[in-house]
Structure 1
Amino acid sequence: MKKFIVLIFFGILACANPKEKTQIVEASCGQCQFGLKNQNGCDLAIKVDGQAYFVDGAHIDDYGDSHDENTGFCNVVRKAEVSGKVEDGRFKSSSFKIVEK
């Protein structure tokens, strides 16, 4: 009986903490490319299943000049492999890696 209660406790605990997920997403400037309007200036965002989220844990200029004509996030949408989770309407990134230019 004691083992059963412990198993139930860990099962509930596992369900209560959403796991981070690694996925390939579109990444770009939230304002310039994804039409997000809830903050000023150019900021990194991703689009998952048609929904755009600003990113915490990575900065738009960490991946080169954001206004570069050919690769800048303000001008192009790029693919990225990300890990993290959506929390309070923002993507909390634990890893962010560009997979193509």
Structure 2
Amino acid sequence: MKSLFLSMIFSFTMFVAFSQSKSDSTSVPDPAKKIQIVDVACGECKLGLPGKSCDLAVRINGKSYFVDGTKIDDHGDAHAKEGFCNAVGKAEVQGKIVGDRFVVTYFKLIKPKKVKA
């Protein structure tokens, strides 16, 4: 009975420990690196990249790159009216181009300014 009780406590402890969400590694900029302002949208729907599903991409100096390090669904509904499949947005990013992909280390959407009528 004692081993069953200890086993249950151990299982519960492990469940709680592993159910914690990991911190988002793209939420804090590196002060030693330059922050770029880039276009961001669905690579297939808005930035002309080949593919068969909706994937996050950035446009840097006129060239588009799929993004590694964050996903399109991490930033809201891509198919909403102002989502990445329907509109091109702006983001602050840090990272580097590796091959034909952009490996992001910091990513923050820039909210569009509302125009007062």
Relative to the length of structure 1, the TM-score reads 0.76
Question: Which amino acid in 1 is paired with 2:88?
Answer: V
Instruction: Determine the structure 1 residue equivalent to 2:96.
Output: 85
CA-based RMSD: 1.4
**Does residue 95 of the first structure (1) align with residue 106 of the second (2)?**
yes
Residues 51-96 of structure 1: per-residue CA shift (max 9 Å, x gap):
0000000100111000001x20000000000000000110000011
**Which structure shows the bigger proportion of residues in strand conformation?**
1
* Counterpart-to-counterpart distance in 2, 1:48 and 1:26: 7
Larger radius of gyration: 2
The 8 Å contact of residues 21 and 84 in structure 1, kept in 2 or not, is answered as no
**Does residue 46 of the first structure (1) align with residue 58 of the second (2)?**
yes
What secondary structure does 1:82 align onto?
Answer: strand
Change in CA separation of 1:41 and 1:72 when aligned onto 2, cut-off 3 Å: same
* Counterpart-to-counterpart distance in 2, 1:20 and 1:89: 21
* Counterpart-to-counterpart distance in 1, 2:34 and 2:98: 13
Mind listing any 5+ residue stretches in structure 1 that lack a counterpart? 1-18
Q: Determine which of 31, 46, 54 is the counterpart of 2:44.
A: 31
Runs of 4+ in 1 over 2 A off after TM superposition: none
The 8 Å contact of residues 43 and 54 in structure 1, kept in 2 or not, is answered as yes
For residue 21 of structure 1, report the CA deviation from its aligned partner: 4.0
The 8 Å contact of residues 21 and 85 in structure 1, kept in 2 or not, is answered as no
Question: Which amino acid in 2 is paired with 1:60?
Answer: I
The sequence identity of aligned pairs, in percent, is: 49
Task: Work out the number of aligned pairs and report it.
Answer: 81
Relative to the length of structure 2, the TM-score reads 0.66
